[in-house]
Amino acid sequence: MTVKIYHNPRCSKSRQTLQILVESGAEHEVVLYLQEPPAAGSILRIAEYLQTPVASLLRSGESAVKDATDLPDLNNDEALAAWLHENPIAIERPIVVDSETGKAVIGRPPENVRELLGK
């Protein structure tokens, strides 16, 4: 199993989640999502894997969200996913995805990743 972590190295929770992946020996791919924002379709898929609306991936306390004048309706998953692609700083972090099983977790707290790994 290879998992993908949407990682922000400046975030302590993201660093801790990555450390758990490394220590567990799990094969993983690191996506620096601020530099390589996930496509809107990928964001929709992540929300599906999390079994949650796209709005739950929004960092509501982030100034990019609080100050946004172009934030779409939070009930419009497609529009919000497109907005998040354009504003990746507003994406909750870290997110760890196992596309083989169609599951994902948000690493808040970082220990959530153990559920995905089955450990």
pLDDT digits (tens, 9 = 90+) for 25-71: 999 999 999 999 999 999 999 999 999 999 999 999 999 999 999 99
Amino acid in position 118: G
68, 43 Cβ separation under 8 angstroms: no
Q: Which is catalytic among the residues 11, 55, 65, 74?
A: 11
Three-state SS across 69-80?
A: CCCCCCCCHHHH
Q: Is the dihedral of CA 47, 88, 107, 75 positive or negative?
A: negative
11 in catalytic set? yes
User: Which residue blocks in the chain are alpha helix, DSSP H?
Assistant: 12-24, 40-50, 63-66, 77-86, 112-117
| pLDDT tens profile 85-112 | 999 999 999 999 999 999 999 999 999 9
Q: Is the pTM of this model over 0.85?
A: yes
